[in-house]
Amino acid sequence: MYKVVTKRFLNDSKTICLFEIEAPLVARHAQAGQFVIFRLDEQGERVPVSVAGYDREKGTVTVMVQAAGRSTKMLHTVEEGDYISDFAGPLGKATEMEGLKKVCVVGGGVGCAIAYPIAKEMHAKGIDVTFIAGFRSADIVILKEELKAASNKLIMCTDDGSYGEKGFTTVYLKQEIENNIAQGLPQFDRVIAIGPDIMMKFLADVTRPYEISTIISLDPIMVDGTGMCGCCRVIVDGETRFACVDGPDFDAHKVDFDSLLKRAAFYTDEQNEAAQHICNITGGKRNG
């Protein structure tokens, strides 16, 4: 059993919540870019979630979870001092940072929670970090001060302009790349993008003409997290790879986004049906 040490909602709409979990063995080995799989109880489903931070001395691991499906909504009802059944990890490969001098980290929505520890570690290593954080609207903006402290330059933008700049992350990434060229500044060694699949696809289209190395973190459907089930397979450079053991980081310019997006939408109807299900016994809607 794993104790919930801290619980804190990160945005006004309370859709994204930070949990600090007591898990000494996971904390001992966790690195930025990796993930864990949790289960609420013995009957619960296995849910992968990225490592958002860790404290090796305290033996805790931090995750930031968006309430999307049944299990994540149920997790949001867990309080400090409560326990969850399983918290396995760390899984996947850590984000590579060796040799980097100047990077642009792009986060979309809850992807900012995943990108934050990566930017934080890079910034601590002396790497010049520009962070572009994109959200739909002001009510779901998270980590304002944390992102500022983890970067040399922070650009916050929302689709509707209700917070920060108005527009999409792709616009500001292209603007930063062009500014480097116009001012004769060193170009980004790498762009690291984490967020919705469609956002990462368009960001890859932005960087491709400039031949800037672009890494994305993928979270396809996953079950066991060890490469055995094959659910998280993705096509990279024409070959089948598994996000859980080969990733989650991949070269964005080699990812087959068409197949990725198609697989991501495979269970959309089932998810919508579960969300609208009315229990015949209680008459209540299921948190699905």
CATH code of the domain covering residue 177: 3.40.50.80
- Domain annotation covers residue 70: yes
Q: Are residues 44 and 145 in the same domain?
A: no
Spatial distance between the Cα atoms of 239 and 254, rounded to a whole number of angstroms: 10
Give the residue from 39, 59, 91 where a domain finishes: 91
Residue 19: give its domain's CATH number.
Answer: 2.40.30.10
What pLDDT, on the 0 to 100 scale, is given for residue 69?
Answer: 78
pLDDT band at 288 (very low <50, low <70, confident <90, very high): very low
**No. of H helices and E strands in the chain?**
9, 17
Spatial distance between the Cα atoms of 288 and 284, rounded to a whole number of angstroms: 12
pTM: 0.84
pLDDT band at 112 (very low <50, low <70, confident <90, very high): very high
Domain range enclosing 44: 2-91
Q: How do residues 144-160 score in pLDDT, each as one tens digit? A: 999 999 999 999 999 99
Closest by Cα among 221, 8, 252 to 106: 252
Q: Are residues 69 and 131 in the same domain?
A: no
Q: How do residues 6-55 score in pLDDT, each as one tens digit? A: 999 988 778 889 999 999 999 999 998 899 998 888 877 888 888 988 99
Higher pLDDT, 268 or 77: 77
Higher pLDDT, 107 or 276: 107
* Domains contained in the chain, number: 2
- Domain annotation covers residue 271: no
DSSP 3-state of 235: strand
Q: Are residues 132 and 151 in the same domain?
A: yes
What pLDDT, on the 0 to 100 scale, is given for residue 287?
Answer: 43
pLDDT band at 282 (very low <50, low <70, confident <90, very high): very low
Characterize 134-168 residue by residue with b for buried, 16 or more Cβ atoms within 10 angstroms of its Cβ, and e for exposed: bbeebebbbbeebbeebbeebbbbbeeeebbeebb
**6, two tokens:** 């801290």
Range name among 113-117, 176-180, 265-269 with the lowest pLDDT average: 265-269
Q: Are residues 116 and 23 in the same domain?
A: no
Q: Are residues 173 and 208 in the same domain?
A: yes
Q: How do residues 182-235 score in pLDDT, each as one tens digit? A: 999 999 999 999 999 999 999 999 999 999 999 999 887 777 777 778 788 889
pLDDT band at 279 (very low <50, low <70, confident <90, very high): very low
- Domain annotation covers residue 189: yes
What pLDDT, on the 0 to 100 scale, is given for residue 194?
Answer: 94
